Amino acid sequence: MRALVCLAIAAGALVSVALAAQDPPKPFVEARGSVKPVRLLPGGPPPRMADGHVDLSGVWFPGPTGRANAWSVVPDAPLKEDPIPFQPWAAEKIKSMSRTEQQLGNAQVTCQPLGVPGMWTINPYPHQIVMTPRLFVHLIESNNNWRVVRLPRQHKPKEEQEPLFMGDTASRWEGDTLVLETISLDERTWIQGNGWFHSDEVKVTERLRRPSRNYLEVQYTVEDPKVLTKAWTSAWRTYSLGSEDLTENFCTNNENVDQLLKLYERERGNR
Amino acid sequence: MDILILKSLTEVFSMKATIAIILGLVVLLTPAPAPAHHAFAAEFDAKNCADITGVLTKVSYENPHAYLFVDVKNTAGQPEETTFQLSSTSNLRRGGATFPVLNASVGKEVLVRGCAARNGEKSRYAASFIKLADGIIQRVGQDVEGIFGTKIWR
C-alpha cells in the first residue's frame, strides 16, 4: 500500500516538475474596472406598501453584491437545477444548432425584445422595479425593455389574445410572493439564451419575493405541452439592491449580427 | 501516514519540488471554466490574442458593444485601421471606462489587448483592456484569457 502511494506521488511529481519547468505563469493584470465582490448583508426586513404587501421596488443587480458583476474576479456560483424535460424533437433541434446559429437566435445578441422570462434569464444588466399597491412596473437596462402589470390582474379573454413579446400577464399575491402568469408570448422570444425556444402554448409563471431589504429572489416555471414533457421550475435566482440608477442602454449599432452571418457563411462553406 | 509521506518527500525532493507538486496537483484539480453564454466565443478566438500598440483615432460609444479604432503600423510601416470590440456602455460606464475617459486618449498612443475575429476579417479584435495614454490600465471587455484572474467566458 505504502509502495503504491509512493509510486503515485512520484508520478505526480514528474508531471508537476515538468509543469514547473515551463515558463512561470504571468501575474494577473491589475486593471481599473475589475470588481472584487463583497456580499451584501440582508439589511433587515423588507419594506411594505400601504396595503401591507411587500414592496419589491428598487434597482436590482444580478448576484449578491448590489453592483454590476460583469468584471467580477470571482466566477458566479452555478445554479443547481433539474434537467429541462424537452420532448425528443425539441432536444434534437437545440442540439443541432451550431454555436453561431445559437447566437443569431439570442435576443441579447440581436437586440430584439427579451420577453418573459428572458428579461431575467437573458439579461446581465440591472432591473428597476417600481411598485404601488395597484401596479408592478418592471424596467430593465438591456435595450430599455419594460413591462407594466396591474395588481391584481386577470388574463384578457381568449378571443382578444395576440402574440406579444412580453405576453399577457395575470397577477396575484400568494402571501408575500408576487405571482405573474404570462401567456401569448411571441415565439421569437426564448426561455433561456441556450436555444430554449417555446411554442404558442407556453405559460410562464414567475414568483418574486423579497426575503429581506437587500435581496430579491425570482423563480419561474415553464409549461409548454408542445415542447416539454412536463412543467419545469427554475432555481431561485438572487438579485441584490443597488444604489446606482439604471443607465441608458439603447442598441443602436449592432455589428454582431453581420459578423455572425459572415461566420455562419464560412461554417456552411466548410460543411 | 501523512507525516511519513511528507518526511519521505522532503528526503527525496527539495522544498522547491514539493511546492511544485502541490501547485501541480492544484492545477490538475482546478475545475474547467464555465460554459459560454455570450457571443464572444462564437465571434472571437480566445487562443489568438496579443498586445497591440497604435494611435487611437476614434471611440464609438454605442450598444450592444462599443468600439475603438486604432491605427496600427503594418510591416511596411503604414498605418492600418484596427477595430476593437469592447463591452457594452453599461459595463464600461460602471467599470470607469466612460466616454470622456476613453476619448481623452484619441490622437495618442495606446496599447490594447485584443483577441482576433474568427470570421477571417483581419484587423478586427475583441479587447479586454487598454493601456490609456496616461498609463492607466483600464478594463474594457471580458476576461476570456483569464489574465485578470477573473471570469472566463470561453
What pLDDT, on a 0 to 100 scale, did the predictor assign at position B12? 34
Q: How many CB pairs under 8 A join A and B?
A: 172
B99 membership: H or E segment, kind and range: helix B99-103
What pLDDT, on a 0 to 100 scale, did the predictor assign at position B129? 96
pLDDT digit string, tens, across residues A5-34: 555 555 555 544 454 455 566 678 889 999
What pLDDT, on a 0 to 100 scale, did the predictor assign at position B6? 33
pLDDT digit string, tens, across residues A83-130: 999 999 999 999 999 888 888 888 888 899 999 999 999 999 999 999
What is the percent of chain A with per-residue pLDDT over 90, rounded to a whole number? 69
Instruction: Report the chain B residue with the minimal C-alpha distance to residue A76.
Output: B151
Per-position pLDDT tens, chain B of length 154: 333 333 333 333 344 444 444 433 333 333 333 333 356 777 899 999 999 999 999 999 999 999 999 999 999 999 999 999 999 999 999 999 999 999 999 999 999 999 999 887 889 999 999 999 999 999 999 888 888 876 554 3
| Number of Cβ atoms within 10 Å of the Cβ of A209 | 19
Q: Number of structural domains, chain A?
A: 1
Chain A residues close to B33, C-beta within 8 Å:
75
A16 domain-assigned? no
Q: Residue A74: pLDDT above 80?
A: no
**Chain B contact for A12, CB < 8 A?**
yes
Annotate chain A with three-state secondary structure. Answer: CHHHHHHHHHHHHHHHHHHHHCCCCCCCCCCECCECCCCCCCCCCCCECCCCCECCCEEEEECCCCCCCCCECCCCCCCCCCCCCECHHHHHHHHCCCHHHHHHCCHHHHCCCCCCCHHHHCCCCCEEEEEECCEEEEEECHHHCEEEEECCECCCCHHHCCCECCCEEEEEEECCEEEEEEECECCCCCCCCCCCCCCCCCEEEEEEEEEECCEEEEEEEEECCCCECCCEECCCEEEEECCCCCCCCCECCCCHHHHHHHHHHHHHHHC
How distant is the Cα of B5 from the closest Cα of chain A, in angstroms?
8
What pLDDT, on a 0 to 100 scale, did the predictor assign at position A134? 98
A94 domain-assigned? yes
pLDDT digit string, tens, across residues A181-232: 999 999 999 999 999 999 999 999 999 999 999 999 999 999 999 999 999 9
What pLDDT, on a 0 to 100 scale, did the predictor assign at position A107? 86
Q: What is the CATH number of the domain that holds A229?
A: 2.40.128.20
Average pLDDT over residues A154-169: 98
Task: Note whether A32 contacts B95, CB cutoff 8 Å.
Answer: yes
**Chain B contact for A252, CB < 8 A?**
yes
CB proximity under 8 Å: A 116-175 to B: 125, 141, 143
Chain B residues close to A26, C-beta within 8 Å:
147
More confident residue, A266 or A10: A266
DSSP 8-state symbol, B78:
-
Q: Which of A20, A29, A73 sits opposite B20 (nearest CB)?
A: A20
**Chain B contact for A112, CB < 8 A?**
no
How distant is the Cα of B78 from the closest Cα of chain A, in angstroms?
26
Instruction: Report the chain A residue with the minimal C-alpha distance to residue B18.
Output: A13
What pLDDT, on a 0 to 100 scale, did the predictor assign at position A230? 98
Task: Note whether A29 contacts B147, CB cutoff 8 Å.
Answer: yes
What pLDDT, on a 0 to 100 scale, did the predictor assign at position B94? 95
Give residue limits of the domains in chain B. 1-30, 40-139
pLDDT band at A78 (very low <50, low <70, confident <90, very high): confident
For domain B40-139, the CATH superfamily is: Nucleic acid-binding proteins (2.40.50.140)
Tell me which residue range forms the domain holding A226: 58-75+85-269
A196 domain-assigned? yes
What pLDDT, on a 0 to 100 scale, did the predictor assign at position A25? 63
A149 domain-assigned? yes
**Chain B contact for A219, CB < 8 A?**
no
Q: What is the ipTM of this complex?
A: 0.84
Average pLDDT over residues A162-179: 98
Q: Which of A15, A193, A263 sits opposite B118 (nearest CB)?
A: A263
Task: Note whether B21 contacts A102, CB cutoff 8 Å.
Answer: no
In angstroms, what CA-CA distances link B119 with A109, B19, B74, B123, B152?
17, 43, 20, 11, 21
A36 domain-assigned? no
A45 domain-assigned? no
Q: Residue A63: pLDDT above 50?
A: yes
